[in-house]
Amino acid sequence: MHTQPPAALDSILHQHGHQPTELLQILIDAQALEGWLPAPTLTDIARALQLPRARVEGVAGFYSFLHTRPAGRYRVLFSDNITDRMLGNAELMDALCRKLWIEPGKLSEDGLVSIATTSCTGLCDQGPAMLVNGRAISQLTHRRINEIAELIRQQRPLDAWPTEYFHIDDNIRRRDTLLSLTMKPGEALAAAIARGRDGWLAEMQASNLRGRGGAGFATAVKWASARNAAGDTKVIVCNADEGEPGTFKDRVLLNSFADLVFEGMTLAAWAVGASEGFLYLRGEYQYLRPQLEAVLARRRAAQLLGADVLGQTGFDFDIRIHLGAGAYVCGEESALIESLEGKRGTPRIRPPFPVTHGYLGRPTVVNNVETLAKTCLIALHGGEAFAATGTAQSAGTKLLSISGDCAAPGIYEYPFGVSIARVLEDCGASDTQAVQVGGASGMCLAAYEFQRRIAYEDVPTAGAFMIFDGTRDLFEVARSFVHFFAHESCGFCTPCRVGTALLKGFMDKLADGHGAQADLADIDWLDRLLKNASHCGLGSAAPNPVIDTLQKFRPAYERRLVSLDFEPAFDLDAALAEARQLTTRDDPGAHLQTHEEDTP
């Protein structure tokens, strides 16, 4: 017998128009009802959307912020980027677990609370940080942890917790053209519309703007391809997944410059002839959603979104916000589109590329938050003025998210071409041993490289700039990134699924004191395998942190090697110690090595 879903779930399904493309959003909303997704809820959702139940379960199982088992009324996730670790997140998590009498990763016996770790939450400038039921709390201290333990014990609803816990600073330390831009909403759009679609695209071409999401693809080329692609409905997606460890500049743009971002999306829509827009907001930034919705509502009221934008007949464009749910791979544009369609975030086989076959097969432009915000400068001041700053191949400025060992972490905007040394000086770093530029998948620069420049042609970066002073162990830095990749691999292709796990195994083996020269050779082999055979950029970038640090900080690895030849990861003789104790046998025959040595 088919029963009706409970009223609350029915209302969620109704709000989302019973659309399968809304599956992820429905699951996120449904989880808010009880803090997890019980099996009957998944069945009800599958039935209501007329989807196979396995599809619904597959999606629910893919995203780390969705729980198909009870996870407690308070779900605490400690941010676990290397910068959080440097600021003592492990001790704080340990303290909270002890205070609440629970083990990490487990649900308390009374079902009240669970405590675990999650990948970088984009708060590296004010860590250590945590999410409680998805809401971000930064600048954790032992005092704050004690207070949080008490609030949980008293079962105080999150809304009654002190508001200052949820305060997130922008930490803008250096402004250049973008961060000092004051623009009335609609001003850039009016300028672009006045130029006509062709004129506006020509201005974009003249600007030489390249994507700020990492790959540095020419934005005008991407827009022109989508514009020329066949299809009546075209789509603009703003990629606000910002999952690269150490990156948090998009958080600041969305918090304090949302009009620039939405105006940039509308400028893209004008060039491309798009009518649909999505902001794909990472789950960690869900606290920004109400204020972003308010900005969208204000822009609709001002005719900057909706039908006939700015009175331009036939220019219809609106933007919806889609939430992610804790999957780094969804930042990859084709995985992001899958996720937008309500599926698991598995990267697509390309070609075809999103510009011709993207969201629901429609021509789709995916651009980073910063890329889109930058287009406002081009609309206002022209392409040539934009191209006049930066370097020949890297026009304009770049936002850097600076964290780690320095006096003033935060957001710094520089013209492209700035040297690493200058950035280090400005943020008050001293005794710097290394800088990881571009996040876990970027590059690790040693002191002899600090004259190199931030630019696509030298040191490209989506913005992460993590600083490590002389006290840090670069092996542990690389190991934390390798753990990150193994955790975030979507598992779709074997080289990455197995390769990242093996890489993690080798690094752990070295850390546990069982490393040998042979392991370093195997790491080299894995590097080639992952680079050449991975389906997407996650797998091919996964060995970068190890290969870079092995090359530049080899002693950090070599001091961990116990043998030049081969060493097993597991010490069998040591593992037998307990058995020997129980049997009170400790003669040479009870020892594996002694016994083998004695054998003629």
Task: Tell me the C-alpha distance between 15 and 3, whole Å.
Answer: 20
**Interface with ligand SF4 includes 536 (CB under 6 A)?**
yes
Q: How far is the CB of 541 from ligand FMN (least distance, A)?
A: 7
Binds 497, which of ligand FMN, ligand SF4, none (CB < 5 to 8 A, cut-off by type)? ligand SF4
Site string for ligand FMN, 320-359 (x = CB under 6 A): ---------x-xxx--------------------------
Q: Which of residues 340-379 bind ligand SF4 (CB under 6 A)?
A: 347
Task: Tell me the C-alpha distance between 5 and 29, whole Å.
Answer: 14
Binds 519, which of ligand FMN, ligand SF4, none (CB < 5 to 8 A, cut-off by type)? none
The half-sphere exposure of 380 on its side-chain side, counting CA atoms within 13 A, is: 18
Task: Tell me the C-alpha distance between 401 and 462, whole Å.
Answer: 9
Cβ distance to ligand SF4 smaller for residue 48 or 329 = 329
Stretch that binds ligand FMN, among 46-54, 211-219, 352-360, 513-521 (CB under 6 A): 211-219
Q: Which of residues 309-338 bind ligand SF4 (CB under 6 A)?
A: 329
Residues 6 or more apart whose Cβ sits within 8 Å of residue 312: 193
Strand partners, 222: none
**Interface with ligand SF4 includes 496 (CB under 6 A)?**
yes
Cβ distance to ligand SF4 smaller for residue 45 or 538 = 538
Neighbours of 89 (CB within 10 A): 21
Among 213, 277, 390, 495, which residue sits at the site for ligand FMN (rule: CB under 6 A)? 213
Task: Tell me the C-alpha distance between 497 and 495, whole Å.
Answer: 6
Q: How far is the CB of 51 from ligand FMN (least distance, A)?
A: 27
**Interface with ligand SF4 includes 541 (CB under 6 A)?**
no
**Interface with ligand SF4 includes 63 (CB under 6 A)?**
no
**Interface with ligand FMN includes 127 (CB under 6 A)?**
no
Helices 39-49 and 7-15: crossing angle in degrees, nearest 10, is 40
Cβ distance to ligand SF4 smaller for residue 453 or 535 = 535
**Interface with ligand SF4 includes 490 (CB under 6 A)?**
yes
Task: Tell me the C-alpha distance between 467 and 586, whole Å.
Answer: 50
Cβ distance to ligand SF4 smaller for residue 62 or 359 = 62
**Interface with ligand FMN includes 31 (CB under 6 A)?**
no
Cβ distance to ligand SF4 smaller for residue 285 or 328 = 328
**Interface with ligand SF4 includes 493 (CB under 6 A)?**
yes
**Interface with ligand SF4 includes 531 (CB under 6 A)?**
no
Q: Which of residues 232-261 bind ligand FMN (CB under 6 A)?
A: 239, 241-244
Q: How far is the CB of 258 from ligand SF4 (least distance, A)?
A: 30
Chain position carrying tokens 């597959």: 58
Binds 534, which of ligand SF4, ligand FMN, none (CB < 5 to 8 A, cut-off by type)? ligand SF4
**Interface with ligand FMN includes 208 (CB under 6 A)?**
no
Q: How far is the CB of 484 from ligand SF4 (least distance, A)?
A: 12
Chain position carrying tokens 């001003």: 187
User: Do residues 122 and 284 lie in contact, with contact meaning Cβ atoms separated by under 8 Å?
Assistant: yes
Please spell the DSSP secondary structure of 19-88, one letter per residue: -GGGHHHHHHHHHHHHSS--HHHHHHHHHHHT--HHHHHHHHHHSTT--SS---SEEEEEE-SHHHHHTT
Q: How far is the CB of 243 from ligand SF4 (least distance, A)?
A: 12
Give the amino acid at 233: T
Q: Is 297 exposed, middle or buried (0-12, 13-18, 19+ CB in 10 A)?
A: exposed
The half-sphere exposure of 55 on its side-chain side, counting CA atoms within 13 A, is: 16
CA–chain centroid gap for 590, Å, is 51
Binds 382, which of ligand FMN, ligand SF4, none (CB < 5 to 8 A, cut-off by type)? none
**Interface with ligand FMN includes 122 (CB under 6 A)?**
no
Binds 418, which of ligand SF4, ligand FMN, none (CB < 5 to 8 A, cut-off by type)? none
Residues 6 or more apart whose Cβ sits within 8 Å of residue 154: none
Task: Tell me the C-alpha distance between 108 and 499, whole Å.
Answer: 34
CA–chain centroid gap for 29, Å, is 21
Cβ distance to ligand SF4 smaller for residue 137 or 490 = 490
CA–chain centroid gap for 472, Å, is 24
Q: Interface with ligand FMN by CB under 6 A: which residues?
A: 211-215, 217, 239, 241-244, 329, 331-333, 366-368, 371, 536-538
Q: What does the binding site for ligand SF4 look like in residue numbers (CB under 6 A)?
A: 329, 347, 489-493, 496-497, 534-536, 538-539
